[in-house]
Chain A
Amino acid sequence: MQNEFIFGVNSTVALQKKDFDLLLKKLQELGYEVVGPRVDEQTLRYGQINTMNDLPKGYISKQEAGRFQLIHTGHSRYFDVIPGAQSWKQFLFPSRVELFELNKNAGRWDINRTESHSPAYAFIGVRGCELAAIQIQDKAFIREDFTDPFYQERRERAFLIAVNCSNPAGTCFCASMGTGPRVESGADLILTELDNVFLLKIGSELGRNVLNGLPVESASAFLLQAAERELEQASKKMGRTLDTEDLPELLLENLDAAHWQKINSRCLSCANCTQVCPTCFCWDTVDTMSLNGTETKRERVWDSCFNPGYSYQAGGNTRPTIHSRYRQWLSHKFGTWKVQYGTLGCTGCGRCITWCPAGIDITEEIAALRKEVKK
């Protein structure tokens, strides 16, 4: 017989930090591969979380255009470090998957589908901007007219623990994009970190079931207020803002603006922005074959609109210059994306600013374009 679990969806419970491992253990027992932020070789990555000791306790990140610094402050928080280059995209839309293998037998091709062994993931610590990014990729991969089987399989089985963000970094602008720092819904559990406890808002029936049997108690008004104060502070710590008022028109009506050319001196066309972007979804196929041509394999890999082969067709590259590729990226993200999917393609996570080796800042670029156009 199970104990009656009195907390319902949308209620908020408190879990002592020392008991967080019980939650992780529960997820592992249910068969989830638990992943979250962790520090390996002085670098922040997303990887397997076995116990809460694997989480980046006591770390923060300092982020500026073209510069990321992981700093150990020794404080008691587990979720204060704003993520690095990696995003949950790598789990839901892996950078390389095998589509199929073929073997030629007597002039026919026999198809071998590698059985997919993608684990059911539990994501620990999904921030508002990242949750919004997952929802944006959902729109690209799970459509009425086309559903990507690889994405769908991973996405539908993922368990999401979101985290309210109390310590935004210098390149963050989620408040401008309306995706954070607070998470309202869209996750199975929504976590707020206080000094000694985690508050967990139950976001789904699945989340409720996972908590059942764990030593949680009702969150007191005192704790709820403390959480509220933290979140109010957070918005003010954000390092960047972006005026979204006239997007996407600003970009789509000014595709010929002189400003675009200015990027040519700085943009490396290295594709880093698109690879760290949690919403960029472009992919390419790679065909390989055995020496005698009887065995072939088709894989799909992350691609980028900055790659020279991306827009190649018979007769040459349709976007031969660096600025034409940059304009494609930016006008897609903040312009045509809205036409395609009903939402902008940016969540304000700031990765493309931090991880651009040249430190190109999209918030500055859009502001500069606006200034030029208004003149």
Chain B
Amino acid sequence: MNPRKPSIAVYKFSSCDGCQLSLLNMEDELLDLAEAVDIAYFLEATRAARPGPYDIAIVEGSITTEHEVERIKEVRRDAKILIALGTCATSGGVQALRNFADHKVYASKVYEHPEFLHYLPTSTPIAEHVAVDLELWGCPVNKRQVLEIITALLNNRRPNLPQYSVCLECKRSGTVCVLVDKGIPCMGPATQAGCGAICPSNGRGCYGCFGPAKSTNVDSLVHILRNAERMPGETERLFRGISGNAPAFQMAAESFISKEKK
């Protein structure tokens, strides 16, 4: 092993803290992790913080303010390896819904005095601002995958992150396809595996929080889901969801929304 334990810093940007929590949720592995790495900066876990530079920066959240635009550059400067943790960090998250609408309308509906808000009109992934070495999708991320990337980094090995669709996870676990069996709209066929098919195994459709799978056919899925809609606009809501700002899902949504408006 390394003579010196690699240092890790965990940062939060615009996010709900859920992905950081999944780090703390690794009950069985947390002690091993603390032994293997030096957790130098992790405000959600400990107030003791040591200054950088760090070996690994784990960044949760998206970029939604001017201040964050500057701060992420500092994070990048301070870290050898930067990991974008969770779908906010990899695609903008649910707060990227504003990217497809008038953000002022949203703000005025939520806040009594939106004039006091300081924010950017869009929510954007970390990789739009600085170089990202590794992206881990999910809302929230899967703790086994978090452990996998840390293990991979510590051991100089490529992490095992599946690029195939959620359908394989359903089939391997014996979950019967909710789309074919029950007619429930499901984004699984075009969504990257990694969650363990949590939603379908609980009788719900996948809502794509792990982002688009590699080399699947999003356009065909749009067509299928629109025929399976149980209420008008259901497909749009699925594609404009947590991973809505991911280019593949965004393009798919735009293609049929624009067709409809014509």
Q: In the bound complex, how far is the Cα of B222 from the Cα of A314, in angstroms? A: 33
A40 closest partner in B (C-beta): B176
Q: In the bound complex, how far is the Cα of B219 from the Cα of A265, in angstroms? A: 8
Contacts of A302 in B (CB 8 A): 168, 171-172
Q: Would you call B255 an interface residue if the criterion is a C-beta within 8 Å of the partner chain's C-beta atoms?
A: no
The reply to whether A304 and B164 contact each other, CB–CB distance below 8 Å, is: yes
**Which chain A residues in 272-303 approach chain B with CB under 8 Å?**
272, 275-276, 286-293, 301-302
Contacts of B189 in A (CB 8 A): 268, 270, 272, 357
Q: In the bound complex, how far is the Cα of B49 from the Cα of A345, in angstroms? A: 61
Q: Mark B162-199, 1 if CB is under 8 A from A, else 0.
A: 11110110011110110111110010111000000000
Q: In the bound complex, how far is the Cα of B176 from the Cα of A84, in angstroms? A: 8
Q: Give the dominant DSSP class at B's interface.
A: helix
Q: Which of B180, B214, B221 is in CB contact (< 8 Å) with A355?
A: B180
The reply to whether B188 and A68 contact each other, CB–CB distance below 8 Å, is: no
Residue from B183, B188, B216 with most neighbouring chain A CB atoms (10 Å):
B216
Contacts of A358 in B (CB 8 A): 220, 224
The reply to whether B155 and A293 contact each other, CB–CB distance below 8 Å, is: yes
Number of residues from B at the complex interface, CB < 8 A: 44
Q: Which of B163, B217, B224 is in CB contact (< 8 Å) with A309?
A: B163
The reply to whether A288 and B160 contact each other, CB–CB distance below 8 Å, is: yes
Contacts of B46 in A (CB 8 A): none
Number of residues from A at the complex interface, CB < 8 A: 49
Q: Looking at the complex, which of A41-49, A161-169, A172-180 is the stretch in contact with chain B?
A: A41-49
The reply to whether B172 and A85 contact each other, CB–CB distance below 8 Å, is: no
Q: Give the dominant DSSP class at A's interface.
A: loop
The reply to whether B221 and A357 contact each other, CB–CB distance below 8 Å, is: yes
Q: Mark B133-171, 1 if CB is under 8 A from A, else 0.
A: 000000000000001101100110100101111011001
The reply to whether A275 and B168 contact each other, CB–CB distance below 8 Å, is: yes
Contacts of B179 in A (CB 8 A): 357
Given A43-B181, A45-B176, check contact A289 B155 (CB 8 Å): yes
B33 closest partner in A (C-beta): A291
A64 closest partner in B (C-beta): B180
Smallest Cβ distance from A203 to chain B, in angstroms?
28
Q: In the bound complex, how far is the Cα of B222 from the Cα of A357, in angstroms? A: 11
Q: Which of A85, A90, A288, A292 is in CB contact (< 8 Å) with B181?
A: A85
Q: In the bound complex, how far is the Cα of B164 from the Cα of A66, in angstroms? A: 20
Q: Mark B41-79, 1 if CB is under 8 A from A, else 0.
A: 000000000000000000000000000000000000000
The reply to whether A96 and B172 contact each other, CB–CB distance below 8 Å, is: yes
Q: Which of A85, A270, A354 is in CB contact (< 8 Å) with B216?
A: A270
Q: Mark A50-77, 1 if CB is under 8 A from B, else 0.
A: 0000000000000000111010000000
Given A95-B171, A291-B150, A301-B172, check contact A268 B190 (CB 8 Å): yes
Contacts of A271 in B (CB 8 A): 164-165, 167-168, 171
The reply to whether A267 and B176 contact each other, CB–CB distance below 8 Å, is: no
Q: In the bound complex, how far is the Cα of B85 from the Cα of A4, in angstroms? A: 71
Q: Would you call A209 an interface residue if the criterion is a C-beta within 8 Å of the partner chain's C-beta atoms?
A: no
Q: Which of A45, A67, A291, A356 is in CB contact (< 8 Å) with B174?
A: A45
Contacts of B219 in A (CB 8 A): 265
The reply to whether B164 and A307 contact each other, CB–CB distance below 8 Å, is: yes
Q: Give the 5 A-B CB pairs with smallest separation, nearest first.
A: A275-B171, A270-B189, A95-B172, A291-B36, A307-B164
Binding site for B on A (CB under 8 A): 41-45, 66-68, 70, 84-86, 90, 95-96, 264-272, 275-276, 286-293, 301-302, 304, 306-309, 317, 320, 322, 354-358
User: Knowing that A271-B165, A302-B172 are A-B contacts, what are 10 other residue pairs whose CB atoms are under 8 Å apart, sorted by A's residue number?
Assistant: A43-B176, A45-B174, A96-B172, A268-B224, A269-B217, A272-B189, A292-B35, A308-B215, A357-B186, A357-B189
